[in-house]
A = this chain, B = another copy of it.
Amino acid sequence: MAKKVTKIGVLTSGGDSPGMNAAIRAVVRTGNYYGLEVFGIMRGYSGIIENDIIPMHSRSVANIIQRGGTILKTARCKEFFQPEGRQKAYQNLKKLGIDGLVIIGGDGSFRGADIFSREFDIPCIGLPGTIDKDIAGTDFTIGFDTAVNTAVEAIDKIRDTADAHDRLFIIEVMGRDAGYIALHSGIATGAEHILIPERKTDIEELVESLQEKERRKKLVNMVVVAEGDEFGGANEVAKVVKERLPFTDTRVCILGHIQRGGSPTCLDRLIASRMGYAAVESLLEGRHNVMVGILNNRMHYTLLERAVKSKQKISDEWIKIVKILAS
C-alpha cells in the first residue's frame, strides 16, 4: 500500500513555458483542498538543494492563472545530477517533511526526478511543461498552444509587410528537436515551405520550387524553418536562397524568445489546470514516478523513465496538405 502523502513540493524546471503558473495554482489549491501542506520550490531542483522553499496557500496563487513565466522561477541544475546534490536535496526535503513532489518541466527534468525518486523513495509526479510538444505519452504539453499562437501572430505581421513589398521571408521558429511549432504555424499562416528536423531538408527542391513560383509571378513567399532543422536554421537557408535567387528580395526573421512568454491561451490554462489537479490526485492515490498526460482526451500516465523526447512521425498527408494549400 502507498505511503500516505501529507506535505508536497511543487517546482518548475528546465525551459519555462506559458501555463506553468496555471499548473502551480492547480497543484497548490488541489493540495490544500485535500488537506495537504504545499510548498513552492524556487528555481527548479536548485531550490531543493539550496533550501529555497516556501509554504504556499490558496492566496499565494491568486491572479496568476493568466500570467506567462513561472512565479517559482526555473533553472537547469547540474548539481542535482550528482549523487551529492541529490543527497543534499533529500536532507532538505526530509527536514521539512515533504513526502511528495510535482515536477513541471521537460524530459530532462523527468530524468532527474526518476533517479531521485528511486534513490530516496519520494514519489514524484511529472507534468509536461514545454513549448516543443515532443514528450511521449501526451497529446498536449503545457505551453505549446501559446507558443504556436505567438508564432502565428508574428508571422501574420510579417506577411503584411512581405505582401506590401513582394518579398520572400525565411522565418525561424523554436524547436531544437521537434518541428511541431514550425509545422503548425507554417500551415496556419500559409507558408510555402516548412523545414523541420523530422524530415530531410532537400534544399534543391526548395530552391526549384521558389524559382518556379518566381516564374509564375507569385512573389510573396514565406518559408518557416524550425531552429533544429538539419540545414542549420533560417540564416543558412537564406544564404543558399539569396545566391540562387539573386533577383528575389529575401529577408530573414528569427522569432526567438517571444515564443516562450505571454499570457497562456485558454487551452494551455485548461490542460495545465487539469494536469495539476491530476498530479495531486495521483500522489494521493499512491502513484509514483509517472508523468501525467492527456491522450485521446483521457488522462494517461507514463512512467517517468519512458516520458522521453518523442520524434513525431509527420505523416505524408500533412506534407501533401502543406504543398496543396500553399499553392
Which positions in A face B, CB cutoff 8 Å? 12, 16, 18, 20, 22, 25-26, 29-30, 32-33, 43, 58, 63, 65-70, 73-75, 139, 145, 148-152, 154, 156-166, 169, 184-185, 187-190, 251-263, 265-267, 269-270, 273-274, 277, 296-297, 321, 324-325, 327
A25–B325 CB distance below 8 A: yes
A157–B150 CB distance below 8 A: yes
A277–B157 CB distance below 8 A: no
CB-CB under 8 A from A266, the residues of chain B are 145, 148-149, 151-152, 184-185, 188
Known: A33-B327, A161-B261. 13 other contacts (CB 8 A): A18-B160, A29-B325, A29-B327, A68-B157, A73-B165, A139-B297, A150-B157, A156-B263, A158-B257, A185-B266, A252-B256, A253-B258, A277-B324
A269–B327 CB distance below 8 A: no
B158–A261 CB distance below 8 A: yes
A160–B65 CB distance below 8 A: no
Main secondary structure of the interface of A (DSSP, over half): helix
A157–B261 CB distance below 8 A: yes
* Nearest CB on B from A113, distance (A): 19
CB-CB under 8 A from A164, the residues of chain B are 12, 16, 20, 69-70, 73-74
CB-CB under 8 A from A151, the residues of chain B are 266
CB-CB under 8 A from A254, the residues of chain B are 254, 256
